[in-house]
Amino acid sequence: MVAGLRLMKILESAACYTLPTGEQFQQLLNKNFCAAFCIECSKSEPLGLEDGSIPDESISASSIVAGEGRLNGEAWCAWSDGLNAWFEVDLGESTVVSGLITQGYDKSWHWRVTEYKVKYKKISSSDYEHVKDNNGAIQVFEGNIDDSTTRVTNMFDQSIVATTVRIEPVAFIEIFALRLELLGCHIN
């Protein structure tokens, strides 16, 4: 009964949901019942990094000082992590995430992430999954190509329901430097 109520809360908060038909539905149903739903926000809004409603304690990274990495704030910079660098936000509860906005380091025109992948956890005890495109391939998002202060918005092909979101830089200029905001809506 609790699972049914939880699913109902998710559906009530979504603008739409899509049930595939026939063989496609059966394949999804066999894998994971919740995977059969496409959950979208009626309006994607900032989830709280920039305005501070996501607390510093909910931000972690491969190298960080608490509070860094917020859009229009101080940038998170990974100095020596190589391609193992990551930046993570614990949302504290299941949240619909539909995209994100990034910036580079505002004190250096050159330092920025130019490409990244997004991983997430459906619940805090689950394994990470990559955000994928409509064809099932891991999405690589374009970051800040032109400069470090321009906001670059990337929306996912399909929104995800996540408790944790992790950004993994793939390409950069000089140093991994990133400021971001998550976009989506709260389920509750």
Answer with the residue of higher pLDDT: 168 or 79. 168
Architecture of domain 43-186: Sandwich (2.60)
pLDDT grade for 85, boundaries at 50, 70 and 90 = confident
**Single-letter residue type at 20:** P
| Domain chopping of the chain, boundaries | 1-39, 43-186
| Distance in angstroms (rounded) separating the CA atoms of residues 56 and 12 | 30
Residue 13, classed as helix, strand or coil, is: helix
The tokens 């009530």 sit on which residue?
A: 12
Read off the pTM.
0.78
pLDDT of residue 141: 95
